[in-house]
Amino acid sequence: MTSSRSYGESALLTPANLLTMFRLLVAPLFIYLICTHPISWWTTVVGGVAAASDYFDGIVARRQGPTSSGAFLDPLADKVIVLGSLYALVFKHHAHFWTSFWIPAVIITAREIWMSFHRSRASRRGVSIPASRLAKYKTMVQDLAIALYVIPGVGSHPNIALVTIWMAVGLTVVTGWQYYTVGKEVMKHAS
């Protein structure tokens, strides 16, 4: 349900952006807690607060209208939380290459770098590539995999998190391809 736009397209200090900025501020604490207390309720609560702020900033942005700053900040916050958390988990469990998050972290990072380049190229041509519903699910599955690694009781069974992160990798690759093909098609028509 989208109402009329409450803020201009270029507004920065909107309620949705403030929630996103809060998520960016919480990210280093969450990453630190993963490094120092990977399976704990403190880590779980801080991660849950970050996830809740992501959920609520989306609701607020839809109600008050999207902004160009929000379109930049929200995916940035997602990348910081997901990639920072994955590399913290890799750091914490560095000895187990094949059963750690190493390979998923590298694949997800490569996709994010590639997509940033692709979106930047599209933006220079005046084309915006919107997030798909599947990409939102991809972020949710990435967040779930990280949560399954830090929640007490569940986190002591890392295979559950590992299966989930590989599901997220599949969604990451598929949505990356979708963004590329949709963006390529839109840029072709914009030329």
- The pLDDT assigned to 95 comes to 43
Residue 104 lies in a domain: yes
Residue 24 lies in a domain: yes
CA angle 27, 86, 88 (to 5 degrees): 70
3-state DSSP helix/strand/coil % of the chain, to nearest 5? 75, 0, 25
Residue 186 lies in a domain: yes
Q: Which CATH number belongs to the domain containing residue 57 in this structure?
A: 1.20.120.1760
Residue 5 lies in a domain: no
Q: Which domain holds residue 22?
A: 15-190
Residue 2 lies in a domain: no
Residue 6 lies in a domain: no
The count of domains in the chain is 1
Kindly report the pTM of this predicted structure: 0.84
Rounded to 10 deg, the angle between the 68-92 and 15-36 helix axes is: 10
Residue 83 lies in a domain: yes
pLDDT tens by residue, the chain, 191 residues: 444 567 666 667 788 888 999 999 999 999 999 999 988 999 999 999 999 988 888 888 888 777 777 778 888 898 899 999 999 988 877 545 555 678 899 999 999 898 888 877 777 777 777 677 888 899 899 999 999 989 999 888 878 888 999 999 999 999 999 888 877 777 777 66
Which phi-psi region, left, alpha or beta, contains residue 141 (left: φ > 0; alpha: ψ -120 to 50)?
Answer: alpha
